[in-house]
Amino acid sequence: MRILVIGGGAREHALCHALISDPAVSELHCAPGNAGIAAVATRHEVDALDGAAVAALAGRLGADLVVVGPEAPLVAGIADAVRAAGIPVFGPSGDAARLEGSKAFAKEVMAAAGVPTARSYVCVTPEEADEALDAFGPPYVVKDDGLAAGKGVVVTDDLESARAHARACDRVVIEEYLDGPEVSLFAVTDGVTVVPLQPAQDFKRALDGDAGPNTGGMGAYSPLPWADPKLTDEVMETVLRPTVEEMRRRGTPFSGLLYAGLALTSRGVRVVEFNARFGDPETQVVLARLRTPLAGLLHAAATGELADFPPLRWSDGAAVTVVIAAGGYPEAPRAGDPIEGLDDVAAHDGPEAYVLHAGTALDADGRVVSAGGRVLSVTATGPDLAQARALAYRSVARVRLAGSHHRTDIAARAAGAVPSSPQSPTIE
């Protein structure tokens, strides 16, 4: 199988890492990729938001499958253009990707499907926003309706900050605050059959102890030893199947990766958000544990053949990923610094530990340099979370990037590395 992956972050590197180890894959291409992906896939330049250009590239390469990583190309309708060219694509149509592209649309679908989520108002004017903020009270949750590259959500106790964010957006969703630990559950679907992956948890705040600003994600782990073993079944019944069914009923079937961001509140599971693609950094740990060859799974979803696909196989072990971020991330990341120690990880810790590249590039001398806010995602597996975590941090310590920072508490509580309080044993 010849595969073209669209995107160039750690998620796409994780996808390429899994795809290249699938014996069914004969050629792997990635556009645009990054310095790490270059080691496993042939890189191509393409405007990922230009459907005709992506379809033409896929056609030229003779691709049997196109896998679209990020949300912006999906919302722009890239998958429609590739599908129209007769090439199977893993990723929803532009209409179906609205589940991520518009928070108001996602709320509407959830309401129609009876999916539990935070109560919410869609507001266009400042007066409507004020009314909604008043109705819910603090903490305030204000979400830009559209795609905002991880910067669209403000959760604050400060009414003025909440109002300011509402005014800065054209259309906002203001909703009730959900407390409780967050879980990410991904499902692969062809629009009819839904196959859940294993749950993971990510760490959104920049600093240890969930302090500091929100980021794209500073680390993740899987499995969740503290979670109810029936969680996946419950989310399948109450969230994933009804949502896929509702999208099909509307004539805009969702095929690809449906990402349910969940809050486990004292009143039950609630959807925090849907994404229309693999999450980053959760993908790094979920795929690290998947034993079923990935290409066949994604191809079956792309071609409507998931019903006949054998049950997924998983490692019994654990995976942890730790993101190394550039100095200044998330406000003003610095770029262009050389990265050293990558070979040491491979030599001493591989293959259980490996470095996935997020924002990297090659400089004129062919050295790997930083080129983004999140630079690397150091991923490790082990028989349990404690050992996977220890190895991940051992590998992180081998990597040198001037000014970089990372969290030191990824998976710490879940691995039993720090005592958990009896009242909230599960909150990360």
- Identify which of residues 321 and 370 has a Cβ nearer to ligand GLY in the complex: 321
Residue 366 tokens, joined: 């062919």
Residue number, 174 or 380, with CB nearest to ligand AMP: 174
Q: Which amino acid is at 300?
A: A
Structure tokens at 236: 């399948």
Residues 192-231 that bind ligand GLY (CB under 6 A): 202, 217
Is residue 220 at the binding interface for ligand AMP, with CB under 6 A as the rule? Answer: no
Q: Which amino acid, 164?
A: A
Contacted by 272, from ligand AMP, ligand GLY, none: CB < 5 to 8 Å by type: ligand AMP
Q: How many residues bind ligand GLY (CB under 6 A)?
A: 6
| Residue, CB closest to ligand GLY | 279
Among residues 92, 279, 373, 382, the one that binds ligand GLY under rule CB under 6 A: 279
Q: How many residues bind ligand AMP (CB under 6 A)?
A: 12
Q: How many CB atoms lie within 10 A of CB 70?
A: 23
Q: Do the Cβ atoms of 404 and 321 come closer than 8 Å?
A: no
Q: Is residue 359 at the binding interface for ligand GLY, with CB under 6 A as the rule? A: no
Does 428 sit near ligand GLY (CB under 6 A)? no
* Residue selected from 85, 113, 155, 236 as contacting ligand AMP according to rule CB under 6 A: 155
Tell me the CA distances in angstroms from 329 to 144, 168, 333, one per residue in order. 22, 22, 4
β-strand pairing of 374-382 with 353-357: antiparallel
Tokens standing for 295? 């290409």
Of 123-131, 170-178, 249-257, 402-410, the segment contacting ligand AMP by CB under 6 A is 170-178
Q: Which is nearer to ligand AMP, 29 or 165 (CB)?
A: 165
Residue at shortest CB range from ligand AMP: 273
Contact between 212 and ligand AMP by CB under 6 A: the answer reads no
Q: Which does 386 bind (CB under 5 to 8 A by kind): ligand AMP, ligand GLY, none?
A: none
Cα three-residue angle 190-195-197, rounded to 5 degrees = 125
> Choosing among ligand GLY, ligand AMP, none, which partner's interface includes residue 71 (Cβ < 5 to 8 Å by kind)?
none
**Residue 34 within binding range of ligand GLY, rule CB under 6 A:** no
Neighbours of 290 (CB within 10 A): 18
Q: Which residues here bind ligand AMP, judged by CB under 6 A? A: 118, 141, 153, 155, 175, 177-178, 182, 204, 261, 272-273
Q: Which residues here bind ligand GLY, judged by CB under 6 A? A: 202, 217, 275, 279-280, 282
